[in-house]
Structure 1
Amino acid sequence: MRVDGAHGRFRAVLEVEGDPDRVEWIYRAFLPETGAAPRYRSRAVARLAGEGKMLVEITSGDVSSLRAAFNTFARLLEAVLSAERVEDA
């Protein structure tokens, strides 16, 4: 995670690295959440950044909404990974 703040905007980046097929699977799971209706306090964009790497860039006008959005995507990642473990069992 990286956090930057400038000009009244705050930014955090969630990075996921690993097996390219697994990262693409995670990316596809994130797309509906990042492409959802516009959020008024924060915005998130997921993208593949090379083989086996995904970035979720979250921007917000204030730190508390940035934290809330980041926590949402961290929990989503945890849920996706848990679902993958169940599927593999």
Structure 2
Amino acid sequence: MTDRADPIPDDVAAMSFEEALAELEKIVGRLEKGNVALEESIAIYTRGDALKKHCDRLLRQAEMRVEKIAADAEGRPTGVEPLDVG
């Protein structure tokens, strides 16, 4: 596990955003079909929740790295500043 407050299995934590999203989409598809036994549904729902949390974390990390170009009153670039994600 990677974080005590919000445990994510190590295999999920090692996934790229694209890998996690692809697996999450498969899980959603299986659950939507409704032909999964109850116990298996609970297990794959739990894994899907971990995948979603991992994707959310990766997106937040990417947003924090994104910067926007700051401009003066005439529109000339003056540098960069953090993207306001609030």
TM tier, smaller = 0.3 to 0.5
* Greater percentage in helix: 2
* Greater percentage in strand: 1
Higher RCO (C-alpha 8 Å, min separation 6):
1
Normalising by the residue count of structure 1, what TM-score does the alignment of the two structures yield? 0.39
Normalising by the residue count of structure 2, what TM-score does the alignment of the two structures yield? 0.40
Larger Rg belongs to: 2
